[in-house]
């Protein structure tokens, strides 16, 4: 049904639905008992890892290679490989400069320390507050509110970029666009939980915190529409932008999510993680069957 809509309408629906659902999921998770939250989030991240890897390697990269061969001939695949490597290195450098941070490891405040009355001081990176295990000083008063506003600002930029990525994926193939939106949603939920907790600790009421977090999530809509119209005027850049988008998804999965999964090394946990990653990959395959 989405594929029958005009591109701007389909991208708006995908990004808006993802933003609202992730914000709603964050609100629901915050009301769950801590034991249930601690159980659910790692499983969601395992699924997200598979979905992100699948969206990048089974969706965006093959589409980018195909489009690049049309645009650049035999040099297309090498161009995709070069840009993919450059994109991964770019995100590494940006992360080092604290301009880009997609961190969802269990000991960070992306849903794992969810009592906002016990939030502790951390490092604010790309708008996300990260708690170190050794921190014991509570954020209070003006500091807590400043951290909350910084988290909100960074999250808004983050969601805008996610919207651009979804638009790029949709333009490559509607199935890839849907798969990418699912992958983004799966890895965004823990982030939204952490951001909502920071807002609550910053002194915002539950209603206001939820409203602000939802509005921030809807920045993905602006990103999606911006990406759509930017590429409509520069369509020849689509293969290159698709490749960089794939590099972004790969970097999040490999640099941020997988190291967190390795913290649980027992065989049973590893098997569950593998099965959930396979489920994430299967989601991409079902939404975007391989071309003959």
Q: What is the pLDDT of residues 86-142, one digit of tens each?
A: 999 988 888 777 554 444 433 444 433 443 333 333 333 333 333 333 343 444 456
The closest of 121, 112, 114, 153 to 140, measured between CA atoms, is 121
- pTM, to two decimals: 0.74
Arithmetic mean of pLDDT over the chain: 79
Q: What are the structural domain ranges in the chain?
A: 2-287
**pLDDT tens-digit series, residues 182-202:** 988 888 887 788 788 778 877
C-alpha closest to that of 143 among 175, 121, 127, 163: 121
Identify the pLDDT of residue 77. Answer: 94
Across 164-184, average pLDDT: 90
Read off the pLDDT of each residue in 214-228 and give the average, rounded to a whole number.
92
Q: What is the pLDDT of residue 107?
A: 40
More confident residue, 67 or 105: 67
165 vs 102, more confident: 165
pLDDT for 69 equals 92
pLDDT of residue 112: 38
């Amino acid at each position: 049904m989405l594929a029958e809509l005009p591109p701007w309408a389909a991208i708006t629906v995908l990004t808006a639905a993802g933003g609202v659902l992730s914000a709603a999921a964050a609100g629901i998770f915050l009301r769950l008992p801590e034991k249930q939250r601690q159980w659910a989030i790692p499983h969601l991240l395992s699924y997200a890892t598979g979905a992100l890897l699948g969206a990048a390697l089974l969706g965006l990269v093959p589409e980018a290679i195909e489009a690049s061969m049309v645009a650049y001939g035999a040099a297309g695949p090498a161009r995709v490989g070069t840009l993919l490597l450059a994109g991964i290195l770019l995100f590494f450098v940006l992360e080092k400069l604290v301009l880009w941070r997609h961190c969802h490891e269990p000991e960070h405040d992306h849903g794992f320390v969810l009592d906002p009355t016990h939030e502790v001081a951390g490092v604010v990176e790309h708008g996300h507050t990260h708690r170190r295990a050794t921190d014991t000083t509570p954020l209070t008063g003006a500091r807590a509110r400043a951290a909350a506003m910084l988290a909100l600002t960074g999250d808004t930029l983050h969601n805008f970029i996610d919207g651009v990525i979804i638009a790029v994926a949709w333009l490559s193939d509607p199935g890839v666009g849907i798969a990418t939106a699912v992958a983004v949603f799966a890895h965004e939920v823990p982030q939204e939980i952490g951001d909502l907790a920071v807002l609550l600790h910053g002194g915002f009421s539950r209603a206001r915190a939820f409203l602000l977090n939802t509005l921030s999530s809807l920045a993905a809509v602006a990103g999606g529409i911006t990406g759509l119209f930017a590429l409509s005027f520069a369509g020849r850049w689509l293969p290159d932008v698709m490749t960089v988008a794939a590099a972004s998804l790969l970097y999040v999965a490999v640099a941020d999510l997988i190291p967190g999964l390795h913290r649980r090394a027992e065989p049973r946990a590893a098997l569950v993680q593998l099965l959930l990653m396979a489920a994430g990959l299967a989601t991409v395959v079902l939404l975007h069957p391989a071309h003959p």
